[in-house]
Homo-oligomer: A and B are copies of this chain.
Amino acid sequence: MTASATARRTVRVELADRSYDILIGPGLIAAAGREIASRLKGRKIAVITDENVAPIYLDNFLAALKVEGIDAVSLVLPAGEKTKSFEHLISVCDSVLAARIERNDAVVALGGGVIGDLTGFAAGIARRGSRFIQVPTSLLAQVDSSVGGKTGINSPHGKNLIGVFHQPDLVLADTDVLDTLSPREFRAGYAEVAKYGLIDKPDFFAWLEQNWQAVFAGGDARIEAIATSCQAKADVVAADERENGQRALLNLGHTFGHALEAATQYDSARLVHGEGVSIGMVLAHQFSTRMNLCSPDDGKRVEKHLREVGLPTSMDEIPGGLPPAEVLMDAIAQDKKVKGGKLTFILTRGVGQSFVADDVPQSEVVAFLKEKLPK
Contacts and interface: CB of A to CB of B under 8 A. Distances in A.
A152 B150 CA distance: 20
B93 A162 contact: yes
Interface stretch (A124-132, A208-216, A217-225, A311-319): A124-132
Contacts of A42: 340
A164 B164 contact: yes
Given A86-B90, A94-B155, A155-B94, A128 B163 contact: yes
Contacts of A152: 125, 128
Contacts of A125: 121, 125, 152, 162-164
A102 B158 contact: no
Q: Copies of this chain, how many? A: 2
A127 B93 contact: no
A300 interface: no
Contacts of A100: 334
B94 A161 contact: no
B97 A339 contact: no
A338 interface: yes
Contacts of A102: 338-341
A157 interface: yes
A165 interface: yes
Contacts of A184: none
Interface in A87-116: 89-90, 93-94, 97-98, 100, 102-104
A228 B126 CA distance: 32
A179 B126 CA distance: 37
Contact of A124 (B98, B164, B341): B164
A66 interface: no
A340 B100 CA distance: 10
Interface string A65-103: 000000000000000000000100110011001101011
Nearest to A244: B103
B94 A129 contact: no
A102 B334 CA distance: 9
Interface of A: 41-42, 86, 89-90, 93-94, 97-98, 100, 102-104, 121, 124-129, 150, 152, 155-158, 161-165, 242, 334, 336, 338-341
7 shortest A-B CB distances, which residue pairs?
Answer: A97-B157, A128-B163, A125-B162, A86-B90, A97-B155, A93-B162, A97-B161
Given A86-B86, A86-B89, A97-B162, 15 more contacts: A41-B340, A93-B162, A94-B156, A98-B157, A100-B334, A102-B339, A103-B339, A124-B164, A125-B152, A127-B162, A128-B150, A128-B152, A128-B163, A129-B164, A129-B165
